[in-house]
């Protein structure tokens, strides 16, 4: 994977969240909280990408 450290770490975190979600659903039969965990845990990557894209556009606008 190439890119920033933050992007790589947020992607790795999202993968761990997906594995935890699967564990909670299959092994513990927990559906409600696990869905919320999946939504909030994987949205971090989307927020990081959005922030990075907004920053790059702003820098090019200033220059």
Mean pLDDT, the chain, whole residue set? 85
pLDDT score for 1:
45
| pLDDT per position as a tens digit, 45-62 | 889 888 888 755 555 556
Neighbour-count burial of 52, counting CB atoms closer than 10 A to its CB (0-12 exposed, 13-18 middle, 19+ buried) = middle
pLDDT score for 38:
95
Which CATH number goes with the domain that contains 55? Answer: 1.20.1440.60
The residue segments making up the domain with residue 47 are 5-62
Who wins on pLDDT, 59 or 13? 13
| pLDDT per position as a tens digit, 29-40 | 998 999 999 999
Count helices and strands (H / E) in the chain.
2, 0
Q: What is the pTM of this model?
A: 0.73
Neighbour-count burial of 21, counting CB atoms closer than 10 A to its CB (0-12 exposed, 13-18 middle, 19+ buried) = buried
């Amino acid at each position: 994977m190439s890119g920033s450290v933050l992007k790589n770490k947020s992607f790795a975190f999202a993968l761990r969240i997906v594995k935890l979600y699967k564990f909670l659903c299959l092994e513990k039969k927990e559906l409600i909280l696990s869905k919320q965990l999946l939504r909030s845990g994987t949205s971090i990557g989307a927020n990081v990408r959005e922030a990075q894209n907004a920053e790059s556009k702003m820098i090019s606008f200033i220059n």
